[in-house]
């Protein structure tokens, strides 16, 4: 080891990465599901939708305004298209009239132009994903203008601070939006965290697919902005009048807001005062700690009034808004129940704030503000019928990381399969967000796994089992950029590719790459491990160099996981696919503090996963039952008659026992043969249990299916499935998964 290991992760990666464009140039022509033309600067953090597209999506987008719009629409394309059709249906012959009205309205007079950039990014993404739809900027303005050309009849909002809160809470704000269910996508609630990289400020919008305007918003200063109906249809929209939803968005993310919240209301009022308004409204501008107010606009008078908290009303520590007038010294009609709540006095908490507003609205957002970018955000939306779960986020969970649950696939080992690694969102109807070629030689697919090989989570590939392909291991960032110094031949001049896994076997910085030779008839079950030598190369891990099955040949399958709960990973092996080899799983301890360092077999972990089957066994490790200790999950080896029988194994107390209920056929017996590929290292839906990703075995009659299962402690159920590659790609699918950052680095 020539250099000390890097102790702390740098904020940014060194500049040894190749531009994405170069990688994309090596792509092979494909006929279906083309990867995005531009970086998708976004991840879906959570999503639950029914067959009609009702439910919720939580996503984070970042970059320039154009890039954020592109990412938002790329990830939600089918729902934006659906909404567009629903509005066309809803408006009928009036659609063109509304289009013209939205064209005539003003979206950002004298303000930094960002809405247009975002909308143009969306147009670009939709043109890529749904070229036949020809959705343009004005179609998106019809969607975004819904809150103006229609209007919410009975919203409520309240905010309190001072006497009503207790350290560390400094302000509580809640907004309830009321609409009917005029079209199905109104029941698709989208919580989008927008993070401009050089202009503007981070903000959160609660609305629907394709929205860049403000319906219910929150900025990094803790200001919650929202709209209430107030004479919204009275008068004639002035030519060039500013949409109230665009105004709400502007005052939320105004890039010129000062660092002191005490000025924000004045700054925004200065910008809006005397501008014409397309729609009448109360715009709640609930800046924390009493610095906010309610701005009023109408079609006749433009933005004409701003009210602020009044000392005579709850000591100036409360703002509340209904859809009726007040100057702030008395309770507006319809808000009496909120006044009753404050009449009780005492300290208010998020739960009571939230509960007060009931469940009658279309959506609701409560915010517990403690400091800038230090907030708890609760959100709920109405379905038709029912409600979404209450979504609970800390500000930093929405913005803190750019990773999302991703399924990684490699093509199966057909001669005609290129080495295209693909990244899909881990969600029903997975979206292809990235693709790159792992190797220049275009055959036999690629083996894949995930792990932190350098300072961030990586995709690690092993060459497919071509009889001329060396045991070439490569490491990539999730955007497809290779980590150039982590590229090596694990077994010198061997051929038939290489199997890969990753795990922290030495209880020290990062995960080691565990390798096993590919299925060459002459290769022994030779397990090795490699790690990042402080940015200078991949170095063998001292003492990990053993034959897992004596004189067996046909290589060896590898996995790693903390199956004994001591805090670091063990190596788990599965016999290679020799026609005479049983499905023998073994466990191995790396004695990293030994002298010499060595690997010892774990006495209790040595079993046949499928009785007297032959052709070896596929292995993976992960905490599938959520007890904090990893289990072993197996798939049968590639015997022509073996179905995709997935089994789980507990190694508690040095004994291996089958996990109750974790024994299932990923496909009906006979539908997919040649065993199954398995990966169970990643918890994709944040329920504390690793999910089980199954890829089809190398069946020459099989395409490239992937199925993802959830195990709830009792049984495994299918969560979603998809075909990873175009028609004609056969021999199944190599699979991995993780919380990864697709495409773009910040």
State the binding string over 570-599 for Ca ion (x if CB under 5 A, else -): x-----------------------------
Question: Measuring CA to CA, which residue among 659, 520, 492, 493 is closest to residue 577?
Answer: 520
Q: Which is nearer to Ca ion, 503 or 555 (CB)?
A: 503
Question: 425, 74 in Cβ contact below 8 A?
Answer: no
Question: 292, 321 in Cβ contact below 8 A?
Answer: no
Question: Measuring CA to CA, which residue among 190, 188, 207 is closest to residue 86?
Answer: 188
Q: Which is nearer to Ca ion, 506 or 618 (CB)?
A: 506
Q: Which stretch binds Ca ion (CB under 5 A): 32-40, 554-562, 601-609, 725-733?
A: 554-562
- Binding residue for Ca ion (CB under 5 A) from 351, 371, 467, 566? 566
Q: Which stretch binds Ca ion (CB under 5 A): 49-57, 61-69, 405-413, 564-572?
A: 564-572
547 C-beta neighbours (distance < 10 Å), count = 12
Question: 59, 68 in Cβ contact below 8 A?
Answer: no
Residues 502 to 541 in contact with Ca ion, rule: CB under 5 A: 504, 506, 508, 510
- Kindly compute the dihedral angle of the four CA atoms of residues 548, 554, 560, 563, in this order, to the nearest 10 degrees: -60
Cβ 561 to Ca ion shortest distance, Å: 8
Q: Is 681 in the site for Ca ion (CB under 5 A)?
A: no
Q: Is 623 in the site for Ca ion (CB under 5 A)?
A: yes
Q: Is 48 in the site for Ca ion (CB under 5 A)?
A: no
Counted residue by residue, the chain has a size of 746
Coil, strand or helix at 158: strand
Q: Is 629 in the site for Ca ion (CB under 5 A)?
A: yes
Q: Is 683 in the site for Ca ion (CB under 5 A)?
A: yes
Cβ 45 to Ca ion shortest distance, Å: 14
Coil, strand or helix at 650: strand
- Binding residue for Ca ion (CB under 5 A) from 689, 731, 734, 739? 689
Q: Which is nearer to Ca ion, 368 or 683 (CB)?
A: 683
Residues 198 to 217 in contact with Ca ion, rule: CB under 5 A: none
Interface size with Ca ion, residues (CB under 5 A): 19
Tokens 């990873």 sit at which residue?
A: 724
H/E/C letters for each residue in 163-189? Answer: HHCCCCCCEEEEEEECCCCCCHHHHEE
Q: Is 564 in the site for Ca ion (CB under 5 A)?
A: yes
Cβ 739 to Ca ion shortest distance, Å: 11
Q: Would you call 87 exposed, middle or buried from its count of C-beta atoms within 10 A (0-12, 13-18, 19+)?
A: buried
φ and ψ of 270, to 5 deg: -60, -40
- Binding residue for Ca ion (CB under 5 A) from 103, 270, 340, 687? 687
405-408-409 Cα angle (round to 5): 150
Cβ 217 to Ca ion shortest distance, Å: 31
Q: Which stretch binds Ca ion (CB under 5 A): 185-193, 517-525, 571-579, 625-633?
A: 625-633
Q: Is 542 in the site for Ca ion (CB under 5 A)?
A: no
Tokens of 64: 């320039």
Question: Measuring CA to CA, which residue among 456, 482, 434, 459 is closest to residue 40?
Answer: 434
Question: 365, 206 in Cβ contact below 8 A?
Answer: yes
Strand partners, 549: none
7 C-beta neighbours (distance < 10 Å), count = 7
Q: Is 712 in the site for Ca ion (CB under 5 A)?
A: no
Cβ 455 to Ca ion shortest distance, Å: 12
Cβ 629 to Ca ion shortest distance, Å: 4
Cβ 688 to Ca ion shortest distance, Å: 7
Q: Which is nearer to Ca ion, 371 or 566 (CB)?
A: 566
- Rg over CA atoms, the chain: 29
H/E/C letters for each residue in 325-348? Answer: CCCCCCCCCCCHHHHHHHHCCCCC
Cβ 741 to Ca ion shortest distance, Å: 19
Cβ 9 to Ca ion shortest distance, Å: 14
- Binding residue for Ca ion (CB under 5 A) from 67, 139, 457, 562? 562
Q: Is 86 in the site for Ca ion (CB under 5 A)?
A: no
Tokens of 702: 């099989």
Q: Which stretch binds Ca ion (CB under 5 A): 106-114, 132-140, 430-438, 684-692?
A: 684-692
d(CA 377, CA 375): 6
- Binding residue for Ca ion (CB under 5 A) from 454, 477, 625, 699? 625
- Binding residue for Ca ion (CB under 5 A) from 50, 78, 542, 627? 627
Q: Which is nearer to Ca ion, 376 or 663 (CB)?
A: 663
Question: Measuring CA to CA, which residue among 615, 623, 472, 492 is closest to residue 545?
Answer: 492
Q: Which stretch binds Ca ion (CB under 5 A): 68-76, 463-471, 597-605, 682-690?
A: 682-690
Q: Which is nearer to Ca ion, 457 or 691 (CB)?
A: 691
Q: Which stretch binds Ca ion (CB under 5 A): 6-14, 50-58, 139-147, 567-575?
A: 567-575
φ and ψ of 248, to 5 deg: -65, -40
Coil, strand or helix at 301: coil
d(CA 1, CA 540): 9
- In the complex, the residues that contact Ca ion under the rule CB under 5 A are 504, 506, 508, 510, 562, 564, 566, 568, 570, 623, 625, 627, 629, 631, 683, 685, 687, 689, 691
């Amino acid at each position: 080891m020539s250099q000390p290991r890097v102790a702390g992760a740098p904020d940014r990666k060194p500049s040894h990465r190749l531009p994405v464009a170069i990688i994309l140039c090596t792509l092979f022509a494909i006929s279906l599901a083309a990867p995005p033309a531009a970086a998708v600067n976004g991840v879906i953090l959570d999503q639950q939708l029914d067959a009609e597209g009702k439910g919720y999506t939580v996503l984070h987008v970042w970059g320039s305004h154009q890039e954020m719009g592109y990412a938002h629409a790329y990830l939600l394309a089918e729902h934006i298209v659906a909404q567009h059709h629903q509005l066309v249906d809803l408006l009928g012959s009036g659609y063109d009239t509304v289009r013209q009205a939205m064209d005539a309205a003003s979206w950002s007079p004298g303000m930094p132009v960002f809405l247009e950039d975002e909308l143009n990014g969306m147009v670009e993404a939709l043109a890529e994903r749904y070229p036949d739809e020809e959705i343009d900027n004005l179609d998106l303005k019809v969607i975004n203008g819904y809150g103006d050309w229609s209007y919410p009849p009975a919203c409520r909002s309240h905010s309190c601070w001072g006497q009503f809160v207790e350290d560390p809470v400094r302000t509580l704000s809640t907004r309830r939006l009321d609409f009917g269910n005029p079209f199905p996508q109104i029941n698709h609630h989208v919580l989008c965290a927008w993070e401009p990289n050089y202009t503007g400020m981070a903000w959160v919008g609660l609305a629907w697919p394709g929205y860049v305007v403000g319906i219910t918003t929150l900025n990094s200063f803790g200001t919650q902005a929202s709209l209430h109906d107030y004479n919204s249809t009275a008068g004639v929209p002035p030519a060039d009048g500013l949409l109230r939803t665009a105004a709400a968005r502007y005052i939320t993310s105004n890039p010129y807001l000062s660092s002191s919240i005490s000025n924000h209301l004045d700054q925004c009022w200065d910008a809006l005062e005397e501008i014409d308004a397309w729609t009448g409204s109360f715009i709640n501008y609930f800046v924390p700690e009493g610095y906010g107010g309610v701005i009023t606009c109408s079609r006749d008078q433009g933005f004409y009034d701003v009210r602020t908290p009044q000392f005579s009303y709850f000591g100036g520590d409360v703002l509340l808004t209904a859809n009726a007038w007040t100057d702030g010294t008395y309770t507006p009609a319809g808000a009496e129940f909120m006044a009753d709540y404050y009449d009780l006095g005492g300290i208010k908490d998020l739960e009571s704030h939230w509960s007060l507003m009931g469940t009658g609205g279309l959506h609701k957002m409560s915010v517990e503000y403690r400091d800038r970018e230090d907030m708890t955000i609760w959100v709920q939306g109405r379905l038709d019928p029912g409600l979404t779960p209450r979504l609970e986020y800390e500000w930093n969970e929405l913005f803190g990381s750019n990773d999302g649950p991703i399924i990684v696939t490699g093509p199966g080992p057909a001669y005609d399969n290129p080495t295209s690694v693909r990244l899909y969102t881990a969600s029903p109807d997975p979206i292809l967000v990235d693709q790159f070629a792992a190797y220049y030689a275009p055959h036999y697919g690629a083996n894949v796994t995930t792990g932190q090989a350098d300072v961030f989570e990586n995709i690690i590939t092993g060459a497919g089992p071509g009889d001329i392909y060396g045991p070439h291991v490569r490491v990539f960032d999730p955007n497809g950029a290779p980590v150039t110094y982590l590229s090596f031949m694990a077994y010198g001049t061997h051929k038939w590719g290489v199997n890969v896994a990753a795990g922290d076997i030495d209880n020290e910085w990062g995960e080691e790459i565990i390798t096993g030779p590919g299925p060459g008839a002459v290769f022994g079950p030779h397990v090795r491990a490699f790690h990042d030598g402080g940015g200078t190369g991949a170095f063998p891990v001292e003492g990990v160099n053993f034959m897992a099955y004596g004189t067996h040949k046909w290589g060896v399958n590898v996995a790693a996981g903390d199956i004994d709960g001591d805090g670091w990973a063990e190596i788990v092996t599965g016999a290679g696919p020799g026609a005479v080899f049983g499905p023998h799983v073994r466990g191995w301890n790396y004695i990293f503090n030994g002298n010499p360092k060595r690997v010892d077999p774990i006495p209790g972990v040595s079993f046949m996963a499928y009785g007297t089957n032959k052709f070896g066994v596929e292995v993976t490790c992960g905490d599938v039952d959520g007890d904090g200790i990893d289990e072993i999950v197996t798939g049968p080896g590639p015997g022509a008659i073996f179905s995709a029988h997935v089994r789980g194994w507990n190694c508690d107390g040095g004994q291996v026992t089958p996990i109750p209920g974790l024994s299932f056929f990923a496909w009906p017996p006979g539908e997919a043969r040649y065993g199954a590929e398995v990966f169970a290292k990643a918890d994709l839906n944040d329920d504390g249990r690793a999910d089980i990703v199954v890829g089809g075995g190398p069946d020459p009659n099989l395409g490239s299916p992937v199925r993802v299962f959830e195990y709830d402690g009792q049984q495994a159920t299918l969560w979603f499935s998809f075909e990873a590659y175009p028609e004609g790609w056969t021999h199944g699918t190599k699979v991995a998964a993780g919380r990864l950052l697709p495409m773009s680095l910040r």
